[in-house]
Amino acid sequence: MFEGPLQDLIDELSRLPGVGPKSAQRIAFHLLNVDPSDITRLQEALGGVRDGVQFCRICCNISREEVCRICSDSGRDGGTICVVEEPKDIQVIERTGEFSGRYHVLGGALDPLANIGPRELNISTLLQRIGGVLPDRELADSTPENKLFDATPTVREVILATDPNTEGEATAAYLGRLLKDFPDLVISRLASGMPLGGDLEFVDELTLSRALSGRLQI
Ligand code: ZN
């Protein structure tokens, strides 16, 4: 234990995911020796995260503007939507260079043990993008009016790219059932070859690229 602000910093850093006490100490001592301008930039970045992050009103990805870069890119196919759990999953799929459609971020996966049900995820907004109609009465009731969208291009295919673990599979199965109500909509799931029980984030690009191109209709 150290005294004063240094220990406060170590304590705060230790609370971050993936940062153990030793790493926290190493980062804190590193910051003790860096240029004051580096500290200022770090402070500004931290402040910016608190004040400046917003979510795209169409796909719920993290965005600088009201509509994110991908949703406003007319070169991308609005007819195909890849559904992912978290914004970081978009980065992973983008790195494969295999996908030129658009995304939808659920904000997590169904997890009854953690009290995360369909209402806690961005599902009603997904349904609106696909058809403008909400087949599920319960979800329709929970959709704020100010979230209604402008007309979007007709969606032909939804790729369910939730994580290949229990919660991700349950979420994909749930969405698969829900989306069956939309006639003519192709619903697909990332192909096999994905490591089971894993997190999309840790799947290598080649495997993900193959899983995407060999996706199976469900
Ligand atoms: Zn977007």
Nearest to 2 by CA among 25, 36, 20, 18: 25
pLDDT for the residue numbered 76? 94
Q: Are 186 and 158 in contact (CB under 8 A)?
A: yes
DSSP strand pairing (77-84 vs 101-105): parallel
Q: Are 194 and 185 in contact (CB under 8 A)?
A: no
List, for the chain, all residue ranges whose pLDDT scores fall below the cut of 50: 133-137, 144-152
Distance 69 CA to ligand 1 centre (A): 7
Distance 116 CA to ligand 1 centre (A): 23
Quote the tokens at residue 57.
């009103």
Distance 74 CA to ligand 1 centre (A): 12
Distance 35 CA to ligand 1 centre (A): 37
Claim: this prediction has a pTM higher than 0.85: no
d(CA 151, CA 130): 10
Distance 132 CA to ligand 1 centre (A): 17
Quote the tokens at residue 169.
């599979």
* Burial annotation 137-169 (CB, 10 A radius, 16+ → b, else e): eebeeebeeeeeeeebeebebbbbbbbbbebbb
pLDDT for the residue numbered 126? 93
Distance 62 CA to ligand 1 centre (A): 8
41-94 pLDDT tens trace: 999 888 888 777 889 999 999 998 899 999 999 999 989 999 999 999 999 999
pLDDT for the residue numbered 8? 93
pLDDT for the residue numbered 208? 81
Quote the tokens at residue 213.
């191109």
Q: Are 67 and 56 in contact (CB under 8 A)?
A: yes
